[in-house]
Every structure is written in structure tokens, then in C-alpha cells.
Chain A
Amino acid sequence: DTGVSQDPRHKITKRGQNVTFRCDPISEHNRLYWYRQTLGQGPEFLTYFQNEAQLEKSRLLSDRFSAERPKGSFSTLEIQRTEQGDSAMYLCASSLGQSLYEQYFGPGTRLTVT
């Protein structure tokens, strides 16, 4: 399978705990995006990388959120001191380049904060 993969697929955590999600993009894709999707909403942009450089962060990305793509391949999204409002589906996508190119989405990580 050469698509975008995400791990874990589901995560249940208690409020205040830290969580980390991983995204493995399609190997030749240099752009990697993170989105958050809540029930009844479309994906909301969080951040994106061009290779290892983080080029933009949404205002949705509070100080408790941090994303990395250390070698320009896989990426991690960490949420510190989780809150119930962080419960959502976290989607990762990758593309060959700018928005002209199709973004390929992974299956997502569903986070539930209790």
C-alpha cells in the first residue's frame, strides 16, 4: 500500500494527557498537511510542511499543539495537556507540491478526550 498512512487510527485519552500522532506520506511527496475535522464540519487546516520546513500554521494551532517533519518524510503532531475540545478526527494529507496538485488523504486519527 503506497497511500498515506496514519497511526494510531483511534486514540482515547484522559484530559490533561499528551498525545502524539504519526503520518507517513506518499514517499515522493514533498508537501504534508495536517487538518482537523469535527462532526458536521469540513476539514480545517492546521499546518503544512514543504519538505522539513513548516511553512504555515493556523490560528487554530494553539501553543499546546506542535508538529514536526524532521527529515522531510514522516510527520508527528503532538497535543499537550489535552482538552475535551481537542476531540476530533485529525487528518494528514500529502501532495507533490502546490495546491494545483492533488492532496492525498490518510484515513485519519480519531481522538477522544474524556
Chain B
Amino acid sequence: AQSVTQLGSHVSVSEGALVLLRCNYSSSVPPYLFWYVQYPNQGLQLLLKYTTGATLVKGINGFEAEFKKSETSFHLTKPSAHMSDAAEYFCAVSGMNRDDKIIFGKGTRLHILP
């Protein structure tokens, strides 16, 4: 079965510093991978996704993630944190058949320090 592990339920970085949110996945088939962001009192919004092709994926708001098959990882990064990046971030993997549900990690809350 597919699963996602997000390392660190809370991450704090200073404004302007590098953001690194870690995600490892387990999948018996080549996965589709996703990062979603959830701002307070709002629904989830897709940041970026990996399906096939280039392993470095660029998303919205300056975020990017790299698919590393050998490490079964899909870490999310942003070179310079902004106060508006404070939110909860969810890594997700597609289901067994890559054709159905998405399985989410437990989330990492990102705090930005002034």
C-alpha cells in the first residue's frame, strides 16, 4: 500500500532563510507525488506535482521539489522564506493504481520567524 511520511510536524525558519520540508514515500508502483498547502480556514491548494519526466518540479510561490527515486523522497524547498509562507504543508502520493485516490501525509506546519 502507498504511504507518506513527513518528517517534523512543525518547522520554524527565519524570514529569508531556506525552507526545507521533508517527505518520504512508499509505493509499489512508480508514484505520482504532490505537495499541497493549507492556509488557516481555507481548503487545500496544489503547490506542485510530479508525474513523469523531469525530476525537479517547480510550483507556485517559488516552491520546488525534487523526486529522488533512490531515496524515495520528494522534499519541498524554497530558497527564501516569506512571512506569507506560514501554513500547513501536506505531501501526498497517488493510490495503488495511480488512477484513484490520493494518500496524504500528516502535514508539517511551517512557522516563519521575523
| Contacts known (A42-B90, A43-B90, A107-B41); A102 close to B104, Cβ less than 8 A | no
Nearest Cβ on chain A to B33's Cβ, whole angstroms: 10
Contact with A along B22-54 (1 / 0, CB 8 A): 000000000010001000011111100101000
Contact at B104–A100, with CB atoms within 8 Å?
no
Most buried by B among A4, A42, A91, A108: A42
Specify which of B45, B49, B102, B105 lies most central, judged by the most chain A CB atoms within 10 Å of its CB. Answer: B102
CB distance from B37 to the nearest CB of A (A): 11
Smallest CB–CB gap between A14 and chain B, Å? 25
* A99 CA / B51 CA spacing, docked (Å): 9
Task: Tell me how far the C-beta of B76 lies from the nearest C-beta in chain A, rounded to whole angstroms.
Answer: 14
B interface residues, how many (CB within 8 angstroms)? 26
Is B104 touching A103 in the complex (CB atoms < 8 A)?
A: no
Q: Which of A40, A56, A102 contacts B9 (CB 8 A)?
A: A40
Question: How long is the Cα–Cα vector from A102 to B32 in the complex, in angstroms?
Answer: 11
Judge whether B75 is part of the interface by a CB distance below 8 angstroms: no
Q: Chain A's nearest CB lies how many Å from the CB of B100?
A: 6
Cβ contact within 8 Å between B100 and A56: yes
Question: In chain A between 44 and 82, which residues have their CB closer than 8 angstroms to a CB of chain B?
Answer: 44-45, 48, 55-56
CA distance A99 to B43 in the complex (A): 18
B residues 79-95 near A (Cβ < 8 Å) are 90, 92, 94-95
Chain B's nearest CB lies how many Å from the CB of A24? 13
Which B residue sits closest to A42, measured CB to CB?
A: B104
Tell me if B13 counts as interface (CB < 8 A to partner A).
no
Taken together as a complex, chains A and B put the C-alpha atoms of A55 and B101 apart, in Å, by 10
Chain B residue with minimal CB distance to A33? B101
The answer to whether A105 has its CB under 8 Å from any CB of chain B is yes
User: Residue-by-residue, is A13-30 near B (CB-CB < 8 Å gives 1, otherwise 0)?
Assistant: 000000000000000000
Contacts of B90 in A (CB 8 A): 42-43
Query: Residues of B at under 8 Å CB distance from A?
Result: 4, 9, 32, 36, 41-46, 49, 51, 90, 92, 94-95, 98-107
Q: Which 3 A-B pairs have the closest CB atoms?
A: A42-B104, A105-B43, A99-B94
Additional 14 contacts, C-beta under 8 A, given A45-B101, A48-B100, A106-B43: A33-B101, A41-B106, A42-B107, A91-B44, A93-B44, A99-B94, A99-B98, A100-B32, A100-B51, A103-B46, A104-B46, A105-B36, A105-B44, A108-B43
